[in-house]
Amino acid sequence: MKKLLKFTPMFLLLIGLASCSSVRVAADYDREANFDNYKTFAFFKPGIDKAEINDIDKRRILRAIEAELMAKGYTKSENPDMLVSIFTKSNQRVDVYNNAWGNGAWGWGGYGGWGWRSGWNNNQVTTTTEGMLFIDLIDANKKELIWQGSGTGNLNANNPDKKEARIKEFVSQMLVQFPPEEK
Protein backbone atom coordinates (compact mmCIF):
# COMPACT_ATOMS: atom_id res chain seq x y z
CA MET A 1 0.00 0.00 0.00
CA LYS A 2 2.88 2.35 0.82
CA LYS A 3 4.36 1.79 -2.64
CA LEU A 4 1.05 2.74 -4.24
CA LEU A 5 0.88 5.95 -2.19
CA LYS A 6 4.48 6.72 -3.09
CA PHE A 7 3.72 6.79 -6.84
CA THR A 8 0.27 8.43 -6.65
CA PRO A 9 1.54 12.06 -6.88
CA MET A 10 3.68 11.19 -9.93
CA PHE A 11 0.74 9.43 -11.58
CA LEU A 12 -1.56 12.41 -10.96
CA LEU A 13 1.05 14.78 -12.38
CA LEU A 14 1.36 12.71 -15.56
CA ILE A 15 -2.43 12.64 -15.98
CA GLY A 16 -2.56 16.40 -15.47
CA LEU A 17 0.17 17.05 -18.02
CA ALA A 18 -1.43 14.73 -20.55
CA SER A 19 -4.82 16.39 -20.16
CA CYS A 20 -3.36 19.88 -20.67
CA SER A 21 -1.95 19.10 -24.07
CA SER A 22 -4.59 16.75 -25.38
CA VAL A 23 -7.14 17.30 -28.05
CA ARG A 24 -10.64 16.13 -27.20
CA VAL A 25 -12.24 14.59 -30.26
CA ALA A 26 -15.64 13.29 -31.24
CA ALA A 27 -17.20 12.05 -34.45
CA ASP A 28 -20.67 11.43 -35.80
CA TYR A 29 -21.74 9.88 -39.06
CA ASP A 30 -24.69 8.82 -41.20
CA ARG A 31 -25.26 5.14 -40.45
CA GLU A 32 -26.90 4.71 -43.88
CA ALA A 33 -23.80 5.88 -45.77
CA ASN A 34 -21.64 3.19 -47.36
CA PHE A 35 -18.13 4.51 -46.73
CA ASP A 36 -16.63 1.87 -49.05
CA ASN A 37 -18.09 3.85 -51.98
CA TYR A 38 -15.94 6.91 -51.24
CA LYS A 39 -12.51 6.87 -52.86
CA THR A 40 -11.89 10.48 -53.93
CA PHE A 41 -12.22 13.90 -52.33
CA ALA A 42 -11.99 17.61 -53.02
CA PHE A 43 -12.25 20.66 -50.81
CA PHE A 44 -15.62 22.45 -50.68
CA LYS A 45 -14.51 26.04 -51.29
CA PRO A 46 -17.80 27.80 -50.32
CA GLY A 47 -17.74 26.11 -46.91
CA ILE A 48 -14.03 26.67 -46.35
CA ASP A 49 -14.30 30.35 -47.29
CA LYS A 50 -16.80 30.85 -44.45
CA ALA A 51 -14.44 29.44 -41.80
CA GLU A 52 -13.51 32.23 -39.41
CA ILE A 53 -9.77 31.65 -39.23
CA ASN A 54 -6.82 33.37 -40.85
CA ASP A 55 -5.71 32.19 -44.28
CA ILE A 56 -2.37 30.83 -43.04
CA ASP A 57 -4.01 28.56 -40.47
CA LYS A 58 -6.69 27.63 -42.98
CA ARG A 59 -4.01 26.40 -45.39
CA ARG A 60 -2.31 24.51 -42.56
CA ILE A 61 -5.57 22.75 -41.73
CA LEU A 62 -6.29 21.87 -45.36
CA ARG A 63 -2.77 20.51 -45.91
CA ALA A 64 -3.09 18.38 -42.78
CA ILE A 65 -6.50 17.03 -43.87
CA GLU A 66 -5.19 16.29 -47.36
CA ALA A 67 -2.16 14.43 -45.96
CA GLU A 68 -4.30 12.36 -43.58
CA LEU A 69 -6.86 11.41 -46.21
CA MET A 70 -4.17 10.51 -48.74
CA ALA A 71 -2.42 8.38 -46.11
CA LYS A 72 -5.72 6.52 -45.71
CA GLY A 73 -5.78 5.78 -49.46
CA TYR A 74 -8.12 8.53 -50.68
CA THR A 75 -7.24 10.47 -53.83
CA LYS A 76 -7.73 14.18 -54.47
CA SER A 77 -9.86 14.60 -57.60
CA GLU A 78 -11.60 17.15 -59.81
CA ASN A 79 -14.63 14.81 -59.86
CA PRO A 80 -14.79 13.66 -56.22
CA ASP A 81 -17.07 11.26 -54.36
CA MET A 82 -16.75 13.32 -51.21
CA LEU A 83 -16.36 17.01 -50.39
CA VAL A 84 -14.37 18.29 -47.41
CA SER A 85 -15.38 21.41 -45.52
CA ILE A 86 -14.21 22.94 -42.24
CA PHE A 87 -15.74 25.12 -39.56
CA THR A 88 -13.99 26.74 -36.60
CA LYS A 89 -14.97 28.25 -33.27
CA SER A 90 -12.95 29.68 -30.43
CA ASN A 91 -13.80 30.33 -26.80
CA GLN A 92 -11.98 32.16 -24.06
CA ARG A 93 -11.50 29.71 -21.20
CA VAL A 94 -11.08 31.21 -17.74
CA ASP A 95 -9.67 29.02 -14.97
CA VAL A 96 -9.66 30.21 -11.35
CA TYR A 97 -7.38 28.47 -8.89
CA ASN A 98 -8.03 29.14 -5.21
CA ASN A 99 -5.07 28.04 -3.14
CA ALA A 100 -6.43 28.79 0.33
CA TRP A 101 -4.35 27.69 3.32
CA GLY A 102 -6.32 27.23 6.52
CA ASN A 103 -9.63 28.56 7.67
CA GLY A 104 -8.34 31.46 9.69
CA ALA A 105 -7.89 32.01 13.43
CA TRP A 106 -7.91 34.55 16.19
CA GLY A 107 -4.67 36.42 16.51
CA TRP A 108 -2.57 39.46 15.89
CA GLY A 109 -3.12 40.83 12.41
CA GLY A 110 -0.25 43.28 12.09
CA TYR A 111 -1.67 46.75 11.42
CA GLY A 112 -5.21 45.53 12.04
CA GLY A 113 -4.64 44.57 15.69
CA TRP A 114 -6.30 41.61 17.38
CA GLY A 115 -9.25 39.87 15.76
CA TRP A 116 -10.33 37.12 13.36
CA ARG A 117 -7.92 36.68 10.47
CA SER A 118 -8.68 34.69 7.36
CA GLY A 119 -6.27 32.06 6.03
CA TRP A 120 -3.73 32.68 3.30
CA ASN A 121 -5.45 33.12 -0.05
CA ASN A 122 -3.62 32.89 -3.33
CA ASN A 123 -6.16 33.17 -6.13
CA GLN A 124 -4.86 32.79 -9.66
CA VAL A 125 -6.86 33.45 -12.80
CA THR A 126 -5.66 32.27 -16.19
CA THR A 127 -7.25 32.84 -19.57
CA THR A 128 -6.53 30.69 -22.61
CA THR A 129 -8.03 30.43 -26.05
CA GLU A 130 -9.65 27.09 -26.62
CA GLY A 131 -10.51 26.30 -30.20
CA MET A 132 -12.81 23.89 -31.94
CA LEU A 133 -12.25 22.52 -35.40
CA PHE A 134 -14.99 20.72 -37.27
CA ILE A 135 -14.28 18.64 -40.36
CA ASP A 136 -17.35 17.91 -42.47
CA LEU A 137 -17.32 15.20 -45.13
CA ILE A 138 -20.16 15.57 -47.61
CA ASP A 139 -21.45 13.17 -50.25
CA ALA A 140 -20.60 15.03 -53.46
CA ASN A 141 -23.61 13.72 -55.42
CA LYS A 142 -26.32 14.05 -52.78
CA LYS A 143 -24.82 17.14 -51.10
CA GLU A 144 -25.52 15.52 -47.71
CA LEU A 145 -23.30 15.41 -44.65
CA ILE A 146 -22.01 11.86 -44.14
CA TRP A 147 -19.37 12.35 -41.40
CA GLN A 148 -18.40 15.10 -38.98
CA GLY A 149 -15.43 15.17 -36.68
CA SER A 150 -14.73 17.76 -34.02
CA GLY A 151 -11.61 18.51 -32.02
CA THR A 152 -11.32 20.83 -29.06
CA GLY A 153 -8.10 22.00 -27.44
CA ASN A 154 -5.77 24.83 -26.59
CA LEU A 155 -4.76 26.91 -29.61
CA ASN A 156 -2.09 29.14 -28.09
CA ALA A 157 1.05 28.63 -30.09
CA ASN A 158 3.19 31.66 -30.84
CA ASN A 159 5.82 29.67 -32.74
CA PRO A 160 4.70 28.86 -36.32
CA ASP A 161 6.32 25.39 -36.20
CA LYS A 162 4.57 24.54 -32.94
CA LYS A 163 1.29 25.90 -34.30
CA GLU A 164 1.57 23.75 -37.42
CA ALA A 165 2.37 20.68 -35.30
CA ARG A 166 -0.64 21.43 -33.09
CA ILE A 167 -2.94 21.70 -36.12
CA LYS A 168 -1.59 18.40 -37.48
CA GLU A 169 -2.28 16.83 -34.08
CA PHE A 170 -5.88 18.12 -34.14
CA VAL A 171 -6.54 16.78 -37.64
CA SER A 172 -4.76 13.48 -37.11
CA GLN A 173 -6.64 12.66 -33.90
CA MET A 174 -9.96 13.63 -35.46
CA LEU A 175 -9.49 11.56 -38.61
CA VAL A 176 -8.49 8.47 -36.63
CA GLN A 177 -12.25 7.94 -36.41
CA PHE A 178 -12.73 8.08 -40.20
CA PRO A 179 -13.97 6.02 -41.88
CA PRO A 180 -16.18 4.70 -39.09
CA GLU A 181 -15.70 1.05 -38.21
CA GLU A 182 -18.51 -1.25 -39.24
CA LYS A 183 -20.15 -2.99 -36.31
DSSP string, the chain: -HHHHHHHHHHHHHHHHHHHH--EEEEEE-TT--GGG--EEEE-HHHHHH--S-HHHHHHHHHHHHHHHHHTT-EE-SS-SEEEEEEEEEEEEEEEEE--B---EEEE-GGG-EEEEPPB--EEEEEEEEEEEEEEEEETTTTEEEEEEEEEEE----SHHHHHHHHHHHHHHHHTT-SPPP-
110-140 pLDDT, tens digit per residue, is 555 555 555 555 677 777 667 899 999 999 9
> Is residue 147 included in any domain, yes or no?
yes
> Is residue 155 included in any domain, yes or no?
yes
> Is residue 120 included in any domain, yes or no?
no
Percent of the chain at pLDDT > 70 equals 70
> Is residue 54 included in any domain, yes or no?
yes
> Is residue 59 included in any domain, yes or no?
yes
Q: Which of 17-21, 88-92, 127-131 comes out lowest in average pLDDT?
A: 17-21
Residue 70's CATH number: 3.30.160.670
Domain count, the chain: 1
Q: 36 pLDDT exceeds 70?
A: yes
Q: Which of 14-18, 20-24, 75-79, 175-179 comes out lowest in average pLDDT?
A: 14-18
